[in-house]
Structure 1
Amino acid sequence: MILDVLFPNRCLNCNRITDANLLVCNLCFDQIHFTHFNFPGENGLKEKCKLLFPVENAYALMQFEKENLSRKIIHDLKYRSREKAGKIIAEWVTEYIDFKDEKPDLLVSVPLHPKKQKERGYNQLHLFTESLSKFYSIPFDHQLIQRNHYSKAQALKDKQHRMEAGNNFSLTKNISGRHILLIDDVFTTGNTLATISWEILNGGNNKVSILVMAMDE
């Protein structure tokens, strides 16, 4: 309580003091550019994914435009030790998605390399994925996919290097006949998600759907 008084939670956008369980104040919330995509259904993200790999469904919660509020939110989650932001963003997702008859069997988030995770102290997708798992009663597996090579942050790479994922990911166990919801923070080129999806698809008679917090232009 004393810390809350000395270091109150502030809105990421306007810096107003706000509730500790909020990322942005109520006045700034309307500035978040939500996509309002349908899951399942056709949308811009699904069209992009279909050009790269067979996808069942795809959903992006926000638009990741230059200098917009969603960019601040994702940056805060990834680089400012605001792991709890993942839980808040998951709550936003649950307000928009009803899986209905397209409910996946397993939630899998894009992994960090162990060295990168040690440097950051956490994987920004874990609490997000676990919160969704609890709400939708879908199991998750943080160990199914492993990242084989350490690399610098995607945000620091140019577009050409982001296209070069190579053999950066592999399955740690055999899976077959499963519908996997693959989770990431931002869809940019789609190369990372495509590489992991092909690993899952080639590993057995599996299906892949995609969920990202935000979708780049």
Structure 2
Amino acid sequence: MLLLDLLFPNRCVECNRIIHHDEAVCELCFDQIYFTHHDYSESNLLTEKCRLLFPIEQAFALMQFEEESTSQKIIHQLKYGKREKIGKIIANWTLEKMDFTDLKPDLLVTVPLHPKKLKERGYNQLHLFTDTLSKELKIPCDHHLIKRNFYKKAQAKKRREQRTFNENLFSITKQISNQHILIIDDVFTTGNTMSAVAWEILKAGNNKVSILVMAMD
């Protein structure tokens, strides 16, 4: 490990300084991250956005996602920079700032990649993040409950066609009911993806859903 660190040192995603191999940013750049300071047990901006789309119990976003922001660079490195271990780092930040109190879900579920996309990327950026939370919080996780049915979203469809596409974007792989499920994704933008996943879970049985995302746009 020491030789690898010398040959390929870990660098801050923001300023490119050499940092410890268990970090994503240096101390100076960490202070530039815009954390939302959401309270999982109370209503917040993400909760309000989700309630316009589907019934929700709680919601939590760790960071604010803005163009050229440090949080954007962190997540882009996680997704596209082959730095999968950043998922564990973000999970540890989440554990420090998110308090379930008496609102622990029964199951953690990740938004899936299409198998072709998974093969191209080599990993799902949510898995190490979720596995870390699962281990520390002692809540089971399931990376296979939801299946993505299409390789990529249609970009140039009419509104009605896009709505139909979103409704069929995911399917559920097994029967599940009477569960409080925490759906995990990286970035919440329009909410269309999260809504599509949530409705599949809600339709499957007498389930409740909550939301956790690394960042919200």
Deviations 1:71-127 (A, max 9, x none): 000100000111101000000000011111110000000000011100100000000
Q: For 1:132, what is the secondary structure of its paired residue?
A: helix
- 1:89 corresponding residue in structure 2: 90
Deviations 1:109-147 (A, max 9, x none): 000001110010000000000000001000000110000
TM value normalised by structure 1: 0.94
- 1:46 corresponding residue in structure 2: 47
TM superposition shift of 1:166: 3.1
Q: C-alpha distance in 2, partners of 1:131/1:71?
A: 21
- 2:136 corresponding residue in structure 1: 135
Letter in 2 for 1:113: H
Matches within 5 A, 1:141-160: 141-151=142-152
Percentage of pairs with the same residue: 65
Q: C-alpha distance in 2, partners of 1:37/1:97?
A: 8
- 1:119 corresponding residue in structure 2: 120
Q: 1:158 to 1:58 in 2, by over 3 A?
A: farther
Matches within 5 A, 1:174-189: 174-189=175-190
How many residues align? The count is 213
Q: 1:37 to 1:158 in 2, by over 3 A?
A: farther
Q: For 2:142, what is the secondary structure of its paired residue?
A: coil
- 1:14 corresponding residue in structure 2: 15
TM superposition shift of 1:3: 1.5
- 2:5 corresponding residue in structure 1: 4
Q: For 1:214, what is the secondary structure of its paired residue?
A: strand
Q: 1:159 to 1:97 in 2, by over 3 A?
A: farther
Q: C-alpha distance in 2, partners of 1:98/1:201?
A: 24
Q: 1:158 to 1:94 in 2, by over 3 A?
A: farther
Q: 1:130 to 1:159 in 2, by over 3 A?
A: farther
- 2:38 corresponding residue in structure 1: 37
Structure 2: 5+ residue stretches without partners: none
Q: Does 1:70 align with 2:71?
A: yes
Q: For 1:209, what is the secondary structure of its paired residue?
A: strand
Letter in 2 for 1:192: T
Q: 1:168 to 1:128 in 2, by over 3 A?
A: same
Q: C-alpha distance in 1, partners of 2:157/2:136?
A: 35
Q: Which moved more, 1:107-116 or 1:2-11?
A: 2-11
Q: 1:42 to 1:10 in 2, by over 3 A?
A: same
Letter in 1 for 2:52: L
TM superposition shift of 1:165: 1.8
Q: C-alpha distance in 1, partners of 2:179/2:3?
A: 48
TM superposition shift of 1:159: 11
Letter in 2 for 1:42: S
Q: 1:9 to 1:215 in 2, by over 3 A?
A: same
Deviations 1:144-187 (A, max 9, x none): 000011116x9xx5898886523010100010000000000000
Structure 1: 5+ residue stretches without partners: none
- 1:171 corresponding residue in structure 2: 172
TM value normalised by structure 2: 0.94
After the TM superposition, which parts of structure 1 deviate over 6 Å for at least 4 consecutive aligned residues?
A: 158-163
